[in-house]
Structures are given as C-alpha cells and as structure tokens.
Amino acid sequence: MSTWFYWFDLIGVAVFAISGTLMAHEKKMDGFGVIVLASVTAIGGGTIRDVILDVPVFWVQDHTYLIAILCAAFITILWLRMRSSFPHSILLIADAMGLAFFMAMGTQKALSLGVTPFIAVVMGTITGVFGGVIRDVLAREVPLVLRGDLYATTCIAGGIVYTQCIAFDTGFPIAMSAGMTVTLLLRFAAIRWDWSLPVFK
C-alpha cells in the first residue's frame, strides 16, 4: 500500500502544480511567479496538514516532490508556449483532479496516524483545498472554496466515502478509487450545473 500511496501522492502534486502553472500563465507571471504559484498550489495544503498533525512536512523529508513540481511546471510551460491561449475549463479540470487526489492522500495519511475518521476527513479536505486557496489569494482571485459552487463539500463527501470503504476493509485501491470518483463527479457536476449549498436568499 505504501508504494501506491507514494506514487499517487506524487501524481497529485504534479496535477496541482499544473493547475498553479496554468493560473500563473493566465495572470501573465514571470518564471519565478510560475514556480511559486505551482509550488504553493501543489504542497500548500499538505504542508498545513502536516503542521496540524505535528509530523515532519512531507516535502522536506523527500525532495522528489519538489522535482515533480518543477517537471510538471516545465512540461506545462512547454505546452503553453506552443499555444497562444488555453480554455479556462482546463484550469478547472486540473484543479478538480488535484482536489480528488489530495483529498484521498490527506485522508489516508491522517488515518495512518491513528486519528478518527472524522478528523481524517477534515485533514483530507484541508489537503485538497488549501493549496488552491493560497494560489488564488496570490493571484488576486476569489478562492474557489469561497465561491458559490460546490468545492470543499466535494472533498468532505469523497472523504466520507473513503473512510467508510477503509472501515469495511475494501483495500486501499478500491477506497481511493471510490473516494476520488465521488469527489470528481460532484466537482464536475458543480462546474457544469452550478450546484451550490444555498444559505442566504
């Protein structure tokens, strides 16, 4: 399971780095701005999670995560240089995929440390959401989590499915697939049909 966890964690970092790079391109940032935005998007949520859980920060212990960020940003830059523009939907899709990956990774890491399923869902949501929050704040955008459509709620739903699958001993691959699928489907549906949680009239 540790090998699965590690590689999916790297994939999640790379996907969120792509999301940060796309946002930097949209805001016409320079090379340094691209790296900063890609990095905070990719490792911001996980860093906050590890600090809260009082464990060593994952990318400080393993520099492979930083290499994954640089490679993902470099490949995305090359792709963007061959195109004059990109659809905004690509940024939303990359963000949704990173959200689903990091929800599962954050939830699993919290469970491995012996916390309750409730706290594990909270940690999964923090892992998935806060990198994008930092990215949007630096880019002077209203964070997606504060907009009308479903965002953090999709992480909570996916995290609940994930923890329940683990509780029924379905195995890591099945639990991860189920949790990520729920998160992705809800997020894509929210983007497509503007789903939201109404509070005020």
The residue that leads in pLDDT, 12 or 85, is 12
User: Does residue 4 carry a pLDDT above 80?
Assistant: no
Burial class (CB in 10 A: 0-12, 13-18, 19+), 3: exposed
Q: What is the mean pLDDT of residues 81-106?
A: 81
Q: What is the mean pLDDT of residues 91-119?
A: 89
Cross-strand bridge partners of residue 196: 149
The residue that leads in pLDDT, 145 or 184, is 184
How far, in Å, CA of 57 to CA of 46, rounded? 8
Residue 46 contacts residue 105 (beta carbons within 8 Å): yes
Structure pTM?
0.88
Q: What is the mean pLDDT of residues 86-113?
A: 85
For the chain, what percentages of helix, strand and coil (3-state, to nearest 5) are there? 80, 0, 20
pLDDT tens, residue by residue, 145-154: 777 678 889 9
Reading the block at residue 17, the tokens are 């780095």
pLDDT tens, residue by residue, 12-69: 898 889 889 988 988 889 889 999 999 999 999 999 999 999 999 999 999 999 999 9
Share of residues in the chain with pLDDT > 90 (%): 53
DSSP, res 115: -
How far, in Å, CA of 32 to CA of 186, rounded? 34
How far, in Å, CA of 201 to CA of 187, rounded? 23
